[in-house]
Amino acid sequence: MLTTENHKQLTIKTPTNRALPLGEGGEDVWIDVIQKMDEVYSELVDSQTELEEKNARLEEAHAFIGSVVAAMTDVLIVCDTNGLIQQVNPALETAVGRRERDLLAMPLTDLFDDASRKTVAGFLPELKNGGVVAQRDVSLSAPDSRNALISVNCTPRCDHRGRLVGMVLVGRPIGELQRAYRELDTAHQKLTQTQQRMLVSEKMAALGRLVAGVAHELNNPISFVFGNMYALKRYGEAITKYLSACNGKSGPAEMETLRKDLKIDQVLRDIGPLVDGTLEGAERVRDIVQDLRRFSSNQEETLEAFNVTRLVRTAADWVIKTQRVKPSVRLDVPDTLEIRGRKGQLHQIIVNLVQNAADVLEGDPNGEIVISGEKTDGEVIIRVADNGPGIPPERIDKIFEPFFTTKPIGAGTGLGLYVSYNMAVKQGGDLTAANRPEGGAEFTVRVPADEHASA
Ligand SMILES: Nc1ncnc2c1ncn2[C@@H]1O[C@H](COP(=O)(O)OP(=O)(O)OP(=O)(O)O)[C@@H](O)[C@H]1O
Ligand SMILES: [Mg+2]
């Protein structure tokens, strides 16, 4: 800086180019000029510092944006209003296998495969017309087809005056996602099929367990049908013999003796009840076969009217006949409990519940199963109770889950209660489990008394 110490030797030129020697009244002007220069200089320094700070902040912001763009897994393309590429991010470079510098000023559509180009070309005009480009699936022309498919969102890019200067396209790779979804879908389908097969095999296993009981059940009517048919055959022979004698030359006394010997009067008395008995036996066989068919069928069951009491009795009989040590069964059900519903399904539910009760009582000489039934406003309630060990409280929520079983491997599929619960619910009913205060478990099935009316 200049000081007044050496002013005397110095002259200075004013803006009008007049020389003003120091010490001749020019000192004040000098001082003014020097002060001005000082001010200008310090302003310069200030603005320089400010500029440097701004520059540092700008660089920081630039680096920050750059790192964000680089970290994006979605592809990013910026293009101008002519559809020429201005910037891309590393994700796009990786997807198309080309560097950014090779892509700049290239038409955006060149990045996409033939089938997608027309769609991509329409994005800018659509944005210009105020439209929205969101979640459009298009394919990049990529070396690895797995990364090619992207779901694209486009937004208009405007300058500081709000004029459209291009667009920003962000694309999320969905090829991987789609493949993962397809794999999940296939796995789900396989699982559903396996589950279906398991349900069928559970049904068949239950059916298998019942075959012995059914054989027993069939044995009874078949044996009395046989017995009756032999008797009828004998009666037929006696009647034929007697009628042939009628046509011959035998006198009334001879005929009377023959009638007595052949017990014709008794035969005539017996024929009616014998035929009725045989018919009843045949009907019983037919019913059992029908029950069996219904039980093993996968078809949707139609509604029918039936007597729950009879159904419960048959179901319990079927199960108990297959048990080595037979628990006692007490039925506390009115003689008739008529309902309209799905007979086969209710039969299967009762069979499963009685079978479970028989399983927990296996080998117990004091085992007892009590089946009670009642009809209350619009529904029929059947309870199957046993005096077994009951269900541990921590398992009570689990027993209805598919495949939950406490039986040894191969002895139970754990589907009995799951299937039964679903069948009851499907009919508009319910199946619940509880422990009895006096010990043992109790299962309660509720089904509408008239499913059609409650539907
Ligand atoms: N009356 C019962 N008393 C105590 N536990 C029971 C009773 N009924 C069922 N459970 C429990 O519930 C589990 C599941 O029963 P569920 O009928 O679903 O399958 P499972 O009987 O084990 O096998 P599956 O019925 O295929 O033969 C049984 O393994 C048993 O632990
Ligand atoms: Mg079971």
Does residue 306 share a domain with residue 455? yes
Give, for all 455 residues of the chain, the pLDDT tens digit: 444 444 444 555 555 555 555 555 678 888 888 889 999 999 999 999 999 999 999 999 999 988 888 888 899 999 999 999 999 999 999 989 999 999 999 999 999 999 999 999 999 999 999 889 999 999 999 887 766 889 999 999 999 998 999 999 999 988 777 788 889 999 999 998 888 887 777 767 666 666 766 776 677 788 888 888 998 999 999 999 888 888 877 788 888 898 899 899 999 998 988 898 888 888 878 877 776 665 555 556 788 899 999 999 988 987 887 788 889 999 999 988 999 998 888 988 998 999 999 999 998 999 999 999 999 988 999 999 999 999 999 999 889 988 788 988 767 778 889 889 988 998 899 999 999 999 999 999 999 998 765 55
**C-beta of 360 in contact with ligand 1 (< 6 A):** yes
Nearest ligand by distance to the CA of 418: 1
Does residue 100 share a domain with residue 62? no
Domain final position from 68, 88, 110: 68
Q: For ligand 1, pick from 417, 419, 443 the residue to mutate: most ligand atoms within 8 Å of CB.
A: 417
Predicted pLDDT of residue 4 = 45
What residue ranges in 126-185 does DSSP mark as E strands? 133-139, 149-158, 164-173
Predicted pLDDT of residue 330 = 96
**C-beta of 388 in contact with ligand 1 (< 6 A):** yes
Predicted pLDDT of residue 16 = 55
What's the angle, vertex CA 309, arms to CA 303 and CA 312, rounded to 5? Answer: 85
**Is 186 contained in some domain?**
no
Predicted pLDDT of residue 1 = 44
Question: 407 — phi, psi (to 5°)?
Answer: -85, 155
CA-209 nearest atom, ligand 1: 27
Does residue 312 share a domain with residue 246? no
* C-alpha–C-alpha distance, residues 35 and 2, integer Å: 10
**385 CB-side CA count, 13 A:** 18
Predicted pLDDT of residue 178 = 79
Tell me how far the alpha carbon of residue 399 lies from the centroid of ligand 1, in angstroms: 7
* C-alpha–C-alpha distance, residues 112 and 222, integer Å: 79
Nearest ligand by distance to the CA of 367: 1
Nearest ligand by distance to the CA of 393: 1
CA neighbor of 275 nearest in space, from 218, 224, 238, 216: 224
Does residue 153 share a domain with residue 221? no
Residue pair 399/421 in contact by the 8 Å Cβ criterion: no
Tell me the two tokens of residue 411: 């002895």
Nearest ligand by distance to the CA of 421: 1
**Is 215 contained in some domain?**
yes
Tell me how far the alpha carbon of residue 343 lies from the centroid of ligand 2, in angstroms: 19
Give residue-wise pLDDT tens across range 220-248.
788 888 888 998 999 999 999 888 888 87
CA neighbor of 379 nearest in space, from 447, 432, 445, 427: 447
Tell me how far the alpha carbon of residue 73 lies from the centroid of ligand 2, in angstroms: 52
CA-357 nearest atom, ligand 1: 1
**C-beta of 433 in contact with ligand 1 (< 6 A):** no
Give residue-wise pLDDT tens across range 257-313.
988 998 999 999 989 888 988 888 888 788 777 766 655 555 567 888 999 999 999
**Is 190 contained in some domain?**
no
In eight-state DSSP terms, residue 395 is: G
Does residue 442 share a domain with residue 330? yes
Q: For ligand 1, pick from 351, 356, 370 the residue to mutate: most ligand atoms within 8 Å of CB.
A: 356
Tell me how far the alpha carbon of residue 405 lies from the centroid of ligand 1, in angstroms: 6
Tell me how far the alpha carbon of residue 443 lies from the centroid of ligand 1, in angstroms: 11
Does residue 254 share a domain with residue 122? no
CATH code where residue 87 lies: 3.30.450.20
Does residue 401 share a domain with residue 329? yes
CA neighbor of 24 nearest in space, from 13, 8, 35, 6: 8
Does residue 165 share a domain with residue 101? yes
Q: How many domains does the chain have?
A: 4
CA neighbor of 440 nearest in space, from 378, 377, 376, 366: 366
Question: 399 — phi, psi (to 5°)?
Answer: -65, -20
Does residue 216 share a domain with residue 293? yes
DSSP 61-83: HHHHHHHHHHH-SSEEEEEETTS
CA neighbor of 432 nearest in space, from 387, 397, 386: 397
Does residue 433 share a domain with residue 315? yes
Q: What range does the domain containing 59 cover? A: 4-68
**C-beta of 441 in contact with ligand 1 (< 6 A):** yes
CATH code where residue 424 lies: 3.30.565.10
**C-beta of 414 in contact with ligand 1 (< 6 A):** yes
Domain final position from 17, 33, 68: 68
* C-alpha–C-alpha distance, residues 412 and 352, integer Å: 11
**Is 109 contained in some domain?**
yes
Tell me how far the alpha carbon of residue 377 lies from the centroid of ligand 2, in angstroms: 30
Q: Which residues are within 5 Å of ligand 2 (an ion), measured at CB?
A: 356, 416
**Is 196 contained in some domain?**
no
**Is 369 contained in some domain?**
yes
Residue nearest to atom 28 of ligand 1 (CA): 405
**Is 193 contained in some domain?**
no
Domain final position from 173, 193, 226: 173
Residue pair 364/327 in contact by the 8 Å Cβ criterion: yes
Does residue 418 share a domain with residue 324? yes
Does residue 323 share a domain with residue 240? no
Tell me how far the alpha carbon of residue 194 lies from the centroid of ligand 2, in angstroms: 19
**Is 49 contained in some domain?**
yes
Residue nearest to atom 20 of ligand 1 (CA): 414
Predicted pLDDT of residue 6 = 46
Predicted pLDDT of residue 2 = 44
